[in-house]
Amino acid sequence: MNPARILVVDDDPHARDLLKRLLGMLGEVTQASDPKMAAARMAEEGPFDLVFTDMAMPNAGDGLLVLHEVRAHLPDTPVIVVTAFGNIEGALDSIQQGAFDYLSKPFDVDAIMRVARRALEQKRLVEENRSLRKQVDRGAMVGRSPGLLEVYKQVARAAATSVPVLITGETGTGKEMVARALHRRSPRSTGSFIPVDCGAISESLMESELFGHARGSFTGATGARRGLFEEAHGGTLFLDEIGDVGPKVQAQLLRALQEGEIRRVGESAPVKVDVRVVAATNKDLKARVAEGLFREDLLYRLDVVHLHLPPLRERREDIAALVEHFAALHARGGVAPVVAGEAMARLTAYDWPGNVRQLENVVARALALNVTGVLGPQDFPEPIGDAPKKLIGLAGDMPSLAELSRRYAAHVLQHVGGNKSEAARLLGVDRKTLYKLLEAQEPEE
């Protein structure tokens, strides 16, 4: 974790120096002598994780100015107000206006450190929750096709149990997304979800990675280490690309599923584990059993509940919803772009060998390079954007550039609730140009 960045605002240099010495144990401390300098520090030196500000700075301004500046530009950054003994009312006002806490002078060293650590922990939790929400949004199961609706039903039923689940489907269909959905909806949701890419770990390392090892059990084992089965105790272990696991680890996985226990490499004593195993593969495991490459008894243990994810080409009716979802997820400035009808038709017609993962990457790339706010066929790479019209039965939606600009301007205006100044700011134009864009019409034949 990076050291915290803390801003101290006080017109008293002795107070600033004292806070810098104390808070320096928690991270990097920047000083400012008044609200104006504090605003400059925030603008020039980037975001801060925590702000301490004096409440009353007679020759410089009010600490509430600092509070308002932080709330406006760094809403997740906690602000701790420092007040003189006789100014508690002002401190309480600051709490009502969003301050995290207040401290009175003369300073209590223990109180300063205690409140600062609590504030930084809150900041960390806010950022962690935002990151988790993004992951959930990114992994949202989007679509209403019959095949996907059946998957929804099976996930809902299986989530309530702890039996192993095998998820099959082509690369990029969202197998890990479904595994996470199973975990989130299960009684184990408060436990850990541990994903393992079995195809990316060599056979020699897989045993230690999954089951742990004792000190000195092999060259380089300088200390004992818990494996991922133990890390996932009480939660879910997701074994992606299970078909790539070798015979030795297959035998150990079978024992873990049958007995509910594992043995660390170099130890003889078993360790009990309470783990739900969800496995996934893009291979035909029955064919691998027939070839002698996968244990039949392990397949039976893994395949208690079977979820199959259809490829994107078999649920084309979901593509438009997925495009809109990914466009909103990757939109710049919070405004999702308009996708022209021809572009959407060609996206829907494409077979997507990389499935949902490929679609997201293509939409994200198009947004990164597009400056108009309207995605057309030219924004997508071959062969997607160059698919012949006759293959997709286009209705001939080929609006002019002026009309596309008008549509996007109207879209942005609707997004900001009709606020023309805000719409102009997001579009990077003045209000006069915005009016011209909104008034643009298709030229007459």
Sheet with 27-32: strands ordered across:
27-32, 4-9, 50-54, 79-83, 101-104
Residue 409: its H or E element:
helix 401-415
**What is the pLDDT at residue 72?**
85
* Residues above pLDDT 90, as percent of the chain: 43
| Res 409: pLDDT | 77
pLDDT of residue 91: 61
32 vs 30: CA distance, rounded Å: 7
* pLDDT of amino acid 396: 46
> What was the pLDDT predicted at 202?
85
Residue (of 87, 42, 85) closest to 67 by Cα position:
42
Decide if pLDDT at 48 tops 50: yes
- 301: nearest Cα among 237, 271, 258, 263: 258
Query: Which of 134-138, 306-310, 418-422 shows the highest mean pLDDT?
Result: 306-310
Q: Report, as an integer, the average pLDDT of 245-264.
A: 94
107 closest CA partner among 33, 17, 34, 28: 17
- The radius of gyration computed from the CA coordinates of the chain, to the nearest angstrom, equals 29
Q: What's the average model confidence in pLDDT over 401-418?
A: 72
Q: How many CB atoms within 10 Å of residue 52?
A: 29
The pair of structure tokens assigned to 100 is: 């995290």
DSSP 328-344: HHT-GGG-PPEE-HHHH
* 395 pLDDT more than 80: no
pLDDT on residue 442: 44
Supply the mean pLDDT for the chain: 84
Looking up tokens 């099959």 gives: 168
Segment 330-339 shows an average pLDDT of: 77
The answer to whether 265 and 223 have CB atoms below 8 angstroms apart is: no
CB 427 within 8 A of CB 406: no
Given this model, what pLDDT does residue 137 score?
Answer: 43
pLDDT at 445: 39
Cα gap 213→313, rounded to integer Å: 44
Q: Which residue has the tokens 């039903």?
A: 153
pLDDT band at 392 (very low <50, low <70, confident <90, very high): very low
**How do residues 79-117 score in pLDDT, each as one tens digit?**
999 887 555 566 667 777 888 888 888 888 888 999 999
Please give the structure tokens belonging to residue 249: 């680890």
H helix and E strand count, the chain: 19, 16
Q: 379, 339 in Cβ contact below 8 A?
A: no
For residue 136, the model assigns a pLDDT of 42
**Could you tell me where the beta strands, DSSP code E, fall in 73-203?**
79-83, 101-104, 165-168, 193-197
pLDDT at 394: 40
Q: Per residue in 126-182, pLDDT tens?
A: 776 555 444 444 445 788 888 888 888 899 899 989 999 999 999 999 999 999 999
Contact 221, 215 (CB under 8 A): yes
Q: Percentage of the chain with pLDDT > 70?
A: 85
Map out the domains of the chain with their CATH numbers. Answer: 4-135 (3.40.50.2300), 146-310 (3.40.50.300), 313-439 (1.10.8.60)
| Beta bridge pairs of residue 261 | 272
Identify residue 84 by its one-letter amino acid code. Answer: A
| pLDDT band of 322, cuts 50, 70, 90 | very high
Ranking 70-79, 214-223, 232-241, 364-373 by mean pLDDT, the lowest is 214-223
Shortest CA distance to 275 belongs to which of 262, 292, 288?
A: 262
| pLDDT score of 108 | 85
